[in-house]
Amino acid sequence: MSTTTNTTTHKPMAWLLGYRFFNLLLVAGAVVGMGFAWYLQEYQHLDPCPLCIFQRVGLISMGVFALIAFVHHPRHIWLRRMYSLLAFLGISWSVGVASRHVWLQHLPPEDVPACGPGLDYWMDTFPMNEVVRKVLHGSGECAKVDWTFLGWSLPHWSLLFFLGLAVIALWQLVRPHHELRGI
């Protein structure tokens, strides 16, 4: 009969509060968000405006960094924080672009920027920094409300969704990592 004791206490709910769980939650958020965007584009025939595409870039980048963190599951706190920072920066980009999108939709009609050529044309014609500037300036197509739910437009719902993901990503960045200290 062995008299050795296990020094790590088994906590059944510890996984739900652990580093991997929150990264999996962020990955799931990215998959759900991109799945919904795909549904709206393919089945509801809502073509994304340039701001919508830029929001997707931030969501995808957050999901990629959270997936890398989930799979890698680093033991060093600094590496965990680096992945969390990169995921937070990605979703913060989406929050900023969605905020701009909401603002554009609330402009009076006479202040809405004119519709310009599409994003494909800009990408073929201008350097990337100019494309980013033009997209963030917005256009008439970005101010158009094509879809609403409970009185809110898609950019409003996107902003709310991105803010929720940003809170989770920020929590990952600043939270204590007790499981690495044996607590």
Enclosing domain of residue 54: 18-180
Check whether 5 has a pLDDT greater than 50. Answer: no
| pLDDT tens track for 105-154 | 777 767 666 555 566 666 776 677 776 766 666 655 666 767 767 878 88
- Residue 161 domain-assigned (yes or no): yes
Q: Mind giving me the DSSP string for the chain? A: ------SSPP-TTGGGGSHHHHHHHHHHHHHHHHHHHHHHHHTS--PPPHHHHHHHHHHHHHHHHHHHHHHH--SSHHHHHHHHHHHHHHHHHHHHHHHHHHHHHTS-GGGSPPP-S-HHHHHHHS-HHHHHHHHHH--HHHH----EETTEEHHHHHHHHHHHHHHHHHHHHHS--GGGTT-
Averaged pLDDT, 172-178: 78
CATH code, 122 = 1.20.1550.10
- Residue 11 domain-assigned (yes or no): no
Q: Between these two residues, 168 and 176, which has the higher pLDDT value?
A: 168
- Residue 7 domain-assigned (yes or no): no
| pLDDT tens track for 18-61 | 788 889 999 999 999 999 999 988 998 888 777 888 899 999 99
- Residue 68 domain-assigned (yes or no): yes
Q: Looking at the 3D structure of the chain, how many domains does it have?
A: 1
